[in-house]
Structure 1
Amino acid sequence: MKAFTLWFASLFIKNHTHTSDPDVRAHYGAFEGWVSIIGNTLLFAIKLVIGLAVNSAALIADAIHTLTDSATSAVVIVGFKMSRKPSDSKHPFGHGRIEPVATLIIAILLFVAGFELLKQSVASIMSPTVGVASYGTIAIVFATALAKEIMARFSFILGDHIDSDTLKADALHHRTDAFSTLLVIVALIASHFGYLQMDGIMGIGVSLAIFASAWAIAREAVNPLIGEAPPKNLLDDIEGACRAVSHVLGVHDIVVHNYGENRIVSLHIEVPHHLSATAVHEIAEDVEESVGRITGGMVVVHMDPINREHPHYQEVLENVRTVIAEDDRILTFHDLRIVGETLDRGTILFHITLTDDNSTTDHQTVLSDTRKKIAARFPHLDLLIKIAPMYSYNP
């Protein structure tokens, strides 16, 4: 089905292979949205007519669920259209985050629909009035479930193709509707055996499925809005691009901000201390260009001069490594520097990265323990140790 879906999309979307282009992404969103709206409207009409004919609360509820799919698809279209708007004075980072906002709206609409269906289903249990549907009618309802599953796969394929959580959310909505229709079929079959309350019970099952779908969609939508961690493979690519530049000794404090298709990356680069300001500037530009090709965004580089030729650098390095390796709370350290030429007077500076299971209240304990261990090895040196924030990645 993937080949057919992408071929079908190519008939309506110009430059369909340029999936990183905001305009192309918007066309994919509009395409998926309109296909969903047309399909959902037809299925809503079929379910509603049958539901009214047999007086099935579950099927009428399912029809309304299908109609809400059209509303969420409309949100998809509007969200993609607004997200492609260029930057302006009030939104200098662009409008890319409107896409997850649209996804969150879809989740809210689902919660509302699920609550209304829950109330209607409970009333149906208290006063069951469902009629008996023919097996031919049940077969038609089953066909609508198959149609919704096809629509779900259609949307999932497009969502994966352009890496869009919004389209995947719409796909999940389609799949939930297909599942709820199967519950309705159980209720319609049960009516043949006199279990009229099964209609309301299955209606509750439909509403719970909608709640589960809404929660999953909302969770995916909120993550990019509050600032989720960048994927590990992207961070590894950034590190590799930095280390490939001549004279780069190390990279740390990688921070990635996403604003839809606009991405801002900041990082620290370690370079030999003896290089001239001009040489350091050229290295920074090379890193910015190299990382920019990978991320497609703006890159800001901070340069840290490291003196590995210091007469006591290796001694200090090995001792710090030993202390860090003995503490399970610490993942790694970076940016090690020594101020002063001797171990009788001067300062040792470095940053440490903690494991994820350390709370903020533990930070001071870790710092205190690390200082004591380093001070025992170098009693005459001052120590300046800092903890890297959670939002920065340190290899």
Structure 2
Amino acid sequence: MENTYNNLKQGERGAWISILAYIFLSGLKLFIGYIALSEALWADGLNNATDIIASVAVLIGLRISRKPPDADHRYGHFRAETVASLVASFIMMAVGLQVLFQAVSKFRVQSYESPDMIAGWTAIGCAVVMYFVYLYNIRLARRIGSAALTAAAQDNRSDALVSAGTFVGIVGSQFGLPWLDPLTALAVGLIICKTAWDIFRDSSHALTDGFDAAELQAIRQTVRGISGVKKIIDVKARVHGNNTFVDMTIAVEPELNVSESHAITEKIERRMLEAHGIAHAHIHIEPFESAAK
């Protein structure tokens, strides 16, 4: 448990780096996009502004998740980051729809103006910065096994790609294709909405105790290979933030005493940690003869 809390604390570092990067880059993009008349860069800046909210949500979630169990939260506070991610998805969707509306309105006016090339250089420079933020966060996430930070890192990478696409759109507008700039803004709006939907889908799935069937089958396969386990009667799993909780009922030989049966549960717990990184497993034992009836 102590290791889990230490990992959550390290994850906060990655969240802070994302927040600081997004604050600087969103401000720069919105300013340059406004003075350079670039719809695409302006939309990209709004995208980064929503990413600030998402990163803050991850940070708050990680911090609350570190609170130990109390009288009202016997399983701890690990789901706090999932709730925060769900709230962030609604905010991101609202901004994405706003970007789409502005881009479509620009098309309806049918009077395009090529943005200044400073907007393009700003976009590609920001893409490079975000790619390095992605590299830092994905390495940290893999080291500490943080699903939330992994998702944040993937968002960093998508933002780098969006900025690179913005650069392409702005460059294209310099060569007699000014409609490429609002078209790129439209694409950015769609990406924001898609990211918001993905976060909403994953968060709502976790909050309703959904769990990947293939991963559950892998857990079954791991336990089947443990000596002393005669039958797996039932396996359930749910996600609490970065932690997986497993509830399992197994059958063992009825002749075993309490100490011998307990030794089998300890084997299962060790294998869960080694093979799947699961530190929270509740094992219930029943005699094999009863289970077979």
Bin the TM-score by the shorter chain. 0.7 to 0.9
Structure 1 pair 58–257 and aligned structure 2 pair: CA distance change class (3 A): closer
2:289 is aligned with what amino acid?
Answer: I
Structure 2 spans left out of the alignment, 5+ residues: 273-278
Following TM superposition, where does structure 1 have runs of at least 4 consecutive aligned residues deviating by more than 4 angstroms? none
**2:121: which partner in 1?**
139
Where does residue 56 of structure 1 map in the other structure?
A: 38
1:177: how far off? 2.0
Structure-1 residue corresponding to 2:155: 173
* Other-structure match for 1:80: 62
Partner of 1:267: 249
Whole-Å separation in 1 of the counterparts to 2:120 and 2:230: 69
CA RMSD after TM alignment: 2.6
Which structure has more helix as a fraction of its residues? Answer: 2
Q: Which structure has more RCO (C-alpha within 8 Å, separation ≥ 6)?
A: 2
Question: Is 2:233 the partner of 1:249?
Answer: no
SS in 1 for 2:282: strand
Letter matched to residue 336 of structure 1: A
* Identical columns (%): 23
User: For residues 3-14 of structure 1, what are the structure 2 equivalents within 5 Å?
Assistant: none
Q: Is the 8 A contact 1:103 1:169 kept in 2?
A: no
Asked whether 1:284 is paired with 2:250, we answer no
| Cα shift readout 1:102-129 (whole Å, capped 9, x = no counterpart) | 3333333321221111111112222345
Alignment partner for residue 186 of structure 2, among 204, 217, 229?
204
**Residue identity matched to 2:185:** G
Amino acid at match of 1:94: G
Partners of 2:115 and 2:234 in 1: CA distance: 66
2:270 alignment partner, one of 278, 285, 293? 293
**Offset at residue 131 of structure 1 (A):** 4.1
2:219 aligned partner, one-letter code: L
Change in Cα spacing, 1:288 to 1:257, as seen in structure 2 (3 Å) is farther
Matched, 1:216 2:198: yes
Structure 1, 117-126 or 213-222: larger mean CA deviation: 213-222
Corresponding position of 1:306:
289
TM-score by length of 2: 0.84
Letter in 2 for 1:301: H
Runs of 5+ unmatched residues, structure 1: 1-17, 308-334, 338-395
Relative distance call for 1:226 and 1:137 in structure 2 (3 A) is closer
- Structure 2: which amino acid aligns with 1:239? R
Residue 115 (structure 1) aligns with: 97
Q: 8 Å contact 2:231–2:288 — kept in the other structure?
A: no
SS at match of 2:253: strand
Residues 79-137 of structure 1: CA deviation (Å, up to 9, x unaligned):
00011111122211111122322333333332122111111111222234544423x65
Q: 1:42-99, CA deviations, whole angstroms, 9 ceiling, x for partnerless residues?
A: 2123212321221112211111111222221111110000111111222111111223
- SS of match in other structure, 1:299: strand
- Output the CA distance in 1 between the equivalents of 2:113 and 2:143: 43
What is the match of residue 240 of structure 1?
Answer: 225
- Structure-1 residue corresponding to 2:292: 336
User: What is the deviation of 1:171?
Assistant: 2.0
Are the structure 2 counterparts of residues 305 and 70 from structure 1 closer, same or farther at C-alpha, using a change threshold of 3 Å? closer
Task: Indicate if the aligned counterparts of 2:252 and 2:261 stay in contact, CA closer than 8 A.
Answer: no
SS for the counterpart of 2:225 is helix
Shift of 1:199: 1.9
Size of the aligned set, in residue pairs, is 282
Distance in 2 between residues matched to 1:58 and 1:111, nearest whole Å: 18
Q: Which amino acid aligns with 2:48?
A: T
User: CA 1:178–1:265 in 2, change beyond 3 Å: closer, same or farther?
Assistant: same
Structure 2 partner of 1:311: none
Whether 1:101 aligns to 2:65 is no
Letter in 1 for 2:283: V
Q: Secondary structure at the match of 1:306?
A: helix
Cα distance change, pair 287–265 in 1 and its aligned pair in 2 (3 A): farther
- Cα offsets for 1:344-394 (capped at 9, x unmatched): xxxxxxxxxxxxxxxxxxxxxxxxxxxxxxxxxxxxxxxxxxxxxxxxxxx
1:187 alignment partner in structure 2: 169
Instruction: Tell whether the 8 Å contact from 2:232 to 2:251 is kept in structure 1 after alignment.
Output: yes
